[in-house]
Structure 1
Amino acid sequence: MTPAAAAGSARSHLNPVTWSLSTKLVATVVGLFLAVTLATSSLTVVLLRGFLTDRLDADVVAISQRLVGGPGGGPDGDGDRRPVGAPPGGAGGWMSLVLSNGTVVSSYYDKGQTSGTLSEEQIEALNAASIGPSPRTVEVESLGTYRVVAAVDRQGRTVISGLPMESVTGTVSQVITLIAGGTIVGFILVSAGGLWLVRRNLAPLQRVAHTATQVSTLKLDSGAVALAERVPDTDADPRTEVGQVGLAINNMLDNVEGALQSRHDSEQRVRQFVADASHELRTPLASIRGYAELSRREREPVPASVTHALSRVESEALRMQGLVEDLLLLARLDAGRPLDREPVDLSLLAMDAVSDAHAASPDHRWELDLPDEPVEVTGDSARLHQVVANLLANARTHTPAGTRVVTSVKPDGRWVRLSVTDDGPGVPEALQRNVFQRFTRGDDSRNRAAGSTGLGLSIVDAVAKSHGGDVELRSSPGDTTFTVLLPA
Structure 2
Amino acid sequence: MRLRRPPWLRSPRPPSLRTRLVLISTVLATVAVLASQAAGLTVMRAWLTGQIDDRLTHFRPPPPAYGDPDRDAAGGAGPLPRDDVLPSDYRVFFYDRDGSLLPHSLGSGDSTPRLPPTALRLEDGRPATVPAEHGGTSWRVVAESVPSGERLVVALPLDTVEGATSKLLWFSLAIGAVTAAGVMLLGGVAVRLGLRPLDRMERTARRITGGELALSVTDTDPGTEVGRLGIAFNTMLDQVRAALRRKDASERRLRRFMADAGHELRTPLTSIQGFAELLLQQPRTPAADRREAHELIARNADRMSRLVDDLFLLATLGYAPVAHRDTVDLLSLAADGVSAAVVAHPGRDVRLVPLPGGGRDRARDELDVIETLGDPHQLSQVIANLLSNACVHTPPGTRVEVRVGTVRTGPRTGGTDRPGRSGPTPPLPEGVQACVVEIADDGPGLAEEAARQVFERFYRAPAGGAEGRDPGSGLGLSIAATIAEAHHGRLELDTRPGAGCVFRLLLPRNAGPGPGAPG
Judging by fraction of residues, say which structure has more helix. Answer: 1
Q: Which has the higher contact order (CA 8 A, sep 6+)?
A: 2
Per the normalisation by structure 2, the TM-score is: 0.46
TM-score (norm 1): 0.48
User: Which structure has the larger Rg?
Assistant: 2
